[in-house]
Amino acid sequence: MPPRPKITKHNTPDSMAAQDLGKLEWERSKISPQDVNLLKKLGLSKKKDALLFPSEESYPSPPMEYRVSFVDHLIRGLSAPIHDFLRGLLFVYGLQLHHLTPNSILHISIFITLCECFLGVQPNWALWKRIFLVHRNGSPNIAYNIGGVVICVRPDVEYFDVKFPDSVQGWRRRWLYVREECRDSSEYNIAPFDGSAKIIRRRSWDAEASEEEKTVTEALTSRIHELQNTHGKELSGIQITAYFLRIRVQPLQARKNPLWMYAGEEDVDRMSADLSVKDLEKLVRKISSLNKRDTVPSTCRVVPFSGTNALPQNHQTASPLPPLPEGGEVDERAIVADDTQPFINLGAQFIGYRNTVEGLKESLLAADKRADDFAAKLKASEEAREKAKKDASCIEGKMSQDFVLEKPEDNHLLDALSLLEIHADLVRRNIFNAQKAFSRLFPYFFPKKKEPDTFAALAESFVPQEDLGLALRQENLKIGVEGTIALVAESQQNVDWIKVGEATKMKQDKWPILIRAAKPHSKKILAFLGYKPTASSSSAKTEVK
């Protein structure tokens, strides 16, 4: 079991279930009918083709305009197109969505809901750094790819008790395809799936809030402390989770309005109608450590900001972030997923790395120029390929067209060509059959030679001066004589083999008589020797050389 990070009352990271051990790579998706029904209830599949479920593939291959996600990510607040804050986190940490565990996704959903509903601000990067850190999920001997990164609360920070489950069993096998909706700005889109992308620890994983950022966010941290500890109005992670599930708005989705403008049942960002009390409580227990005996909160003890509980006047919803000290770095590989100008601007606003943005813009311009040059060469190559294809089709058409003669019956050249074609085809078939026959005979006549590659050489080997079949016939005769002598010996008959060997002369009329006398017994001898008896007479004399 991989080592667990330090566990506090508000920080219980995902752990591998027993059945997940050793299954660290992609495998065939296994989504149950219960999962499908849950996604329907949550409104995540109400739009046509919003979700696609894999069939037999064991490695994700999303169709055009689709991205890879997980059932356990979707039920924890994820939906496409994704929220710009989540997009920024993936950018800063150099991650893909499948690198994050379900509990990490829930951490981000709770944080965004906290900021928009109870602090009245946009999700704040400086505040995030004060609360959370990122570490690798694995061990020295095993490196996880799916769910290989865990977001957890810093050990020295007091945060909401989220009550994560100890284990999210089998979540890695419940992957599917989510349709990416086109947005005006590409920074809202999910980065293209790359299942082979390795997790590289970056300096941003250890980023901490600077003194200036701590000063800017001091009022927010004080408000969080007040929300946690006001007697009778304590806010908990379970209350925040139940709230965003109850109002049917996905915190991690790019929305038209922030949650402090939530307009109730008519809100444009709602995914579905209200869940029943039973379904809501079942879902909360599914993504938390609450059991059937624990009470699921029906309301928050602190009234969240919304359309009916507006923000106070002059309330600032976004705090400007000072730039990081010189030396802050952005790994350029982290922006391969989306190299558009709006996304670089988002990165500058989000992480404050303004010292390197100009360099990134220059690199982007150079990359655009190289892309334009490559596109021009590709276009020229495509035009040449199309021209070659058209020329080839014209030649093929000329070769395949039928020539029409005015009076074909009177054309002697056409008759000659027809006869030539018929005889040529006959010759080809005969040569082919002859080659097959010679190939089958070759090993018997030339057991120690390699068969020639060409038909001419193969046929030439069968036309020598001497009789090729003589040696083969003599060898077969030798085997027959030796087999016959062996059978006679086995029958324990007294035969003077010396006299037999000297019987070199025999009258011509006596030979057929002896052959006919031996024929009733020859079938048994031939069967023993492995030959099938034939109806032809065995009147040939011994062949000598």
Q: Which residues contact 287 (CB under 8 A, 6 or more apart)?
A: 72, 75, 76, 102, 106, 165, 241
User: Using an 8 Å Cβ cutoff, are 289 and 244 in contact?
Assistant: no
Comparing CA positions, the residue from 473, 490, 497, 472 lying closest to residue 528 is 490
Provide the b/e sequence for 35-65 (b: ≥16 CB within 10 Å). beebbebbbbbeeeebbeebeeeeebebeee
Amino acid at 69: S
CB of 324 within 8 A of CB of 65?
no
Q: Contact, 86 vs 188, CB < 8 A?
A: no
414 within 8 A of 405, measured Cβ to Cβ: yes
DSSP 22: T
Q: Which of 70, 80, 82, 77 is nearest to 35 (CA)?
A: 70
Rounded to an integer, what distance in angstroms lies between the CA atom of residue 284 and that of residue 70? 17
For residue 81, say if its preceding peptide bond is cis, omega within 30 degrees of 0: yes
pLDDT value of residue 239: 94
Spatial separation of the C-alpha atoms in residues 330 and 347, rounded to whole Å:
9
The pair of three-digit structure tokens given for residue 417, joined into one six-digit string? 């060509």
CA distance linking residue 87 with residue 232, whole number of Å:
36
Distance CA 112, CA 118 (A): 10
Q: What pLDDT, on the 0 to 100 scale, is given for residue 340?
A: 34
Please enumerate in sequence order all residues whose Cβ is within 8 A of that of 289, keeping only pairs 6 or more positions apart, or say none: 12, 163, 164, 165, 166
Cα–Cα dist 438/491, whole Å: 42
Token pair for residue 383?
A: 């035009």
Q: What is the pLDDT of residue 398?
A: 54
What is the CA 63 to chain-centroid distance, rounded?
Answer: 12
As a 3-state breakdown, the chain gives helix, strand, coil percent values, each rounded to 5, of 50, 5, 45
| Contact present, 215 and 137 (Cβ < 8 Å) | no
User: What is the distance, to the nearest Å, from the Cα of residue 142 to the centroid of all Cα atoms in its chain?
Assistant: 21
At residue 151, φ and ψ (nearest 5 deg) are: -100, 125
Cβ pair 482, 473 in contact under 8 A: no
Q: Locate 243 and state its tokens.
A: 């709230």
For residue 266 the two structure tokens come to 């008519």
Place of tokens 């003669």: 405
Spatial separation of the C-alpha atoms in residues 59 and 177, rounded to whole Å: 12
Strands (E), 224-313: none
Q: Residues 6 or more apart from 469 whose CB is under 8 A from it?
A: 445
Q: Quick count: other Cβ atoms within 10 Å of Cβ 151?
A: 24
Q: So what's the pLDDT on residue 18?
A: 35
Q: What integer pLDDT is reported at residue 413 of this predicted model? A: 63
Start-to-end Cα distance in the chain: 84
Residues of the chain with pLDDT under 70: 1-24, 139-141, 143, 182-189, 314-364, 394-415, 464-472, 501, 503-509, 511, 529-545
H or E segment and range at residue 496: none
Alpha-carbon dihedral sign for residues 112, 116, 119, 125: positive
The three-state DSSP-derived secondary structure of 359-392 is: HHHHHHHHHHHHHHHHHHHHHHHHHHHHHHHHHH
> 210: which residues sit within 8 A by CB, 6+ positions away?
322, 324, 325
Which residue is it, tokens 């489950």? 165
Report yes or no on whether pTM surpasses 0.75: no
**Local structure of residue 408 (DSSP, 8 states):** G
**Nearest alpha carbon to residue 241 among 173, 317, 323, 300:** 300
Q: Give the β-pairing of 51-52 and 66-70.
A: unpaired
Residue that has been written with the tokens 């506090």 in this structure = 8
